[in-house]
Amino acid sequence: MKRIFACLALAFAAASAHGQGVGINTTGAAADTSAVLDLTSTTKGFLPPRMTSAQRAAVVLPATGLVVYQTDGTTGLYVNVGTPAAPNWTAVSTGGGGGGQWSTSGANIYYNSGKVAVGTTPGSFRLAVQDTGSVLRVQANNGTGLLASLGGFGQVQVDAPGVAGGRLALLGNGNLGLGVANPTNKLSFASVGGKKISLYPVGTSDYGFGIAAGRLQVYTDGSAGGDVAIGTDNAGTFTEKFAFKNNGALAVGGNAGTAGQVLQSNGSGAAATWVNPQSASYANVYQTAIISSTPFPAGGGDTLVPGMSQTITVSGNAKAIVNYYVSLYNPLCTFCGNAVVYTGIALDGAVQHFGTWVVRNGEYHGASSAYMVNLSPGTHTISIVARATGSNVQLGSDPVTYGNSMTIQVIPQ
């Protein structure tokens, strides 16, 4: 120990005598003119004081620039960048490599505290990049690689200059807002009118969606046809079901119909079709015409007029307007008088309406009437019944001029 102190004393004495720094080496070279202490060796290094983090924190009034090596926790060189009264120990390098607040793990580098700013001073963000020109580029050269991944909790926002959430906001629940900071749906737009989604811009025209005057607008490029079609897709093949033509026409299954036609529903199991109004009006009309000469038994009960029966089926509540004509003949009889004939409309066997007719002895007569009956969903049978009193009466006894007929028109409700 005495020899070491003696050498140091001689070295400092020499340094003081020459007015320069102290050089410690094996060659006798003078210290660099900019250094107070110049250590030179190719086989040995400089070993600063080693201590734990608690011992470092216990150093009394550490000088600004004081360097120590911490042996526990995050090991490495630490320098006091504060003042003796208010020390601020900052890692110059750590046991994992790197320097300052950056650390390495193998070939990787990471940051362990504080904020990073490029082109500006650190603010409230952990990472801030600011510039007036090209600012940031992230590029993946592998076509199947992951370009970027944002995980964890909280929101992701793309801000307009100086306006938080002014351009895009992605919430933790998956809601995406364009021009709105707090989207309430999976996709939300700012509460302003105009075009919202542009699918295919064409010059000054467009294909897309917009909002104007309290209306949802679906628009196309009118100069190129501009139909709006609704259909199905199968492996990229589109099948049109409905289309609103640029001229205002409505096409169903590719057919826009002809002038004067109307659109008819064919039920839930078939597509609607264009039909002529006349066909649509008389689609539910039934007509029966029978010529008969069957006599009524005198004094008998209600008898079905032969052939005057029609079975119909309705899917919902409906009304049926029934018109009928029955030819009556009271054969001439010397001792016979007039006959009274009752004709009526029966629904599923129950008489709904009756008419009374007096047929004089030896004369022809016609019984005709009209009545509307109510139909419930299902299958029903509408019939014409009759009964006679006082004489035998024949129906449709003149096969050329007279006969029996019935017309039924069903009106869905």
Q: 227-279 pLDDT, tens per residue? A: 899 999 999 999 999 998 888 889 998 899 888 888 888 888 888 988 876 54
DSSP element (H, E) containing 109: strand 108-111
Share of the chain above pLDDT 90, in %: 30
pLDDT at 1 over 70: no
With 60 as the cut, is the pLDDT of residue 401 above it?
Answer: no
What is the CATH topology of the domain spanning 285-412? Jelly Rolls (2.60.120)
Contact present, 172 and 153 (Cβ < 8 Å)? yes
User: In this model, does residue 199 exceed pLDDT 80?
Assistant: yes
Report d(CA 369, CA 326) in Å as an integer: 9
What is the pLDDT, as a whole number, of residue 278? Answer: 53
Reply yes or no on whether the pLDDT at 111 is more than 80: no
Q: pLDDT tens, 304-319? A: 888 889 999 988 899 9
What is the bridge-based pairing of β-strands 176-178 and 163-170? antiparallel
pTM for the model stands at 0.45
pLDDT in tens, 273-306: 888 765 445 568 888 877 766 777 767 778 888 8
Report the alpha-carbon distance of residue 147 to residue 134 in Å, rounded.
19
pLDDT above 60: residue 320: yes
The one-letter code for the residue type at 162 is: G
Percentage of residues in the chain with pLDDT exceeding 70?
86
One-letter amino acid for residue 335 of the chain: F
- What's the one-letter identity of residue 261? Q
Taking the CA atoms of 328, 334, 335 and 337 in sequence, report the sign of the dihedral they define. Answer: positive
For the chain, domain boundaries: 1-45, 47-111, 251-281, 285-412
User: What's the pLDDT band for 17 if we cut at 50, 70, 90?
Assistant: very low
Which residues lie closer than 8 Å to 136 by C-beta, 6 or more apart? 129
How do residues 345-367 score in pLDDT, each as one tens digit? Answer: 999 999 998 899 998 888 888 88
Distance in angstroms (rounded) separating the CA atoms of residues 352 and 370? 11
* Bridge partners, 77 (sequence order): 69, 93
Which pair of tokens denotes residue 238? 């589109």
d(CA 183, CA 186): 7
Model pLDDT, residue 210: 93
Residue 106 pLDDT > 80, yes or no?
Answer: no
Q: What is the pLDDT of residues 158-176, one digit of tens each?
A: 877 666 666 888 888 889 9
Report the 10 Å Cβ neighbour count for 249.
11
